[in-house]
Amino acid sequence: MAQDRHFSTVSMLTLGVADLGRARSFYEALGFEAGPGSNEHIVFLQIGALVLALYPRTLLAEDAAVADDGHGFDGLTLAHNYSSEEAVDAAMAHALAAGATLKKKPQKVFWGGYSGYFADPDGHLWEVAHNPFVKVDDHGIVTL
What is the percentage of the chain residues whose pLDDT exceeds 90? 60
Q: Which of 16, 42, 64 is the last residue of a domain?
A: 64
The residue ranking higher by pLDDT, 71 or 18, is 18
Same domain, 109 and 60: no
For residue 59, what are the domain limits? 1-64
The residue ranking higher by pLDDT, 61 or 108, is 108
Same domain, 60 and 95: no
Same domain, 87 and 52: no
Same domain, 144 and 83: yes
Same domain, 39 and 86: no
- In Å, what is the CA distance from 39 to each residue of 31, 35, 36, 75, 77? 18, 9, 9, 29, 25
Same domain, 103 and 129: yes
Taking the model in full, what pTM does it have?
0.80
Tally of domains in the chain = 2
Dist CA 71 CA 59 (whole Å): 16
- In Å, what is the CA distance from 63 to each residue of 29, 55, 58, 69? 28, 11, 9, 14
Dist CA 68 CA 78 (whole Å): 21
Q: Is residue 71 part of a domain?
A: no
Same domain, 83 and 135: yes
Amino acid type, 27 = Y
- In Å, what is the CA distance from 10 to each residue of 6, 52, 98, 115, 127? 10, 11, 27, 23, 18
Q: Is residue 18 part of a domain?
A: yes
**pLDDT digits over 31-89, tens only?**
999 999 999 999 999 988 889 999 999 998 887 777 787 766 677 789 888 989 999 99
